[in-house]
Amino acid sequence: KTSGTDTSAASKMCLVLDNVTVQGSNSGAPPFITILNGELELSGSDPFSGPMFLSPNNTIGAGDVLTINNPNLTNGSLTIGINGTLHVIQGELNIGTSTGNSLVQNFGSTVVIEGGEVNVAGMFRPASSSTGITFEQTGGALNIFGNHTSTTLASLDFGTSSFTECT
């Protein structure tokens, strides 16, 4: 993003996490990410852990991409809403520790797991059973702990939409 208020042009930023700290810490650092109309790739090899999203909604917006490509990145976020694309190449993405902390895909969203580890406390699910989503896993691990109270959705649920694609 070229200025603090420009959200009109999509751009890609690769943040190499080598000796990076957020407010002086690379472990238990405070949240620091808001993606507005673009792509953010977290790369590098140095250790970094902590929650990422500043937004209380923890959302990857439509057309936005978050790529995790650091084997030593450990993230902790509550529920994450996906409207755009989540791409995990290497690293560890932890979604919540409490009941209902889930990865929720909205219509047209994509989750790609090529490597690394995605751990979900609650559910990995579409926003509703009729929401069309895309899920692709060619490597890595998806661990779902099923800590939720839903009586209508499974812990791993792809819904019933004919627009859903899973490979």
Mean pLDDT of 118-131: 93
This prediction has a pTM of: 0.83
More reliable by pLDDT, 83 or 7: 83
Mean pLDDT of 141-161: 93
Q: Is 159 left (phi over 0), alpha (psi -120 to 50) or beta?
A: left
Beta bridge partners of 120: 95, 144
Answer yes or no: is pLDDT of 154 > 90.
yes
pLDDT digits (tens, 9 = 90+) for 67-115: 999 888 777 667 888 999 999 999 888 888 888 889 999 999 999 999 9
> Of 127, 125, 166, 120, whose CA–CA distance to 144 is shortest?
120
Distance of CA 154 to the CA centre of its chain: 20
- DSSP state for residue 146 in the 8-state scheme: -
The CA–CA distances, whole Å, from 19 to 45, 54, 94, 163 equal 9, 21, 22, 42
Q: Is 143 left (phi over 0), alpha (psi -120 to 50) or beta?
A: beta
| Number of separate helices (H) and strands (E) present in the chain | 0, 14
**End-to-end alpha carbon distance in the chain:** 33
- Give the CB-side neighbour count of residue 147, counting CA atoms within 13 A: 15
Answer yes or no: is pLDDT of 1 > 50.
no
pLDDT digits (tens, 9 = 90+) for 12-49: 888 777 776 777 766 766 777 778 788 988 888 887 77
Residue 122 near residue 79, CB atoms below 8 Å? yes
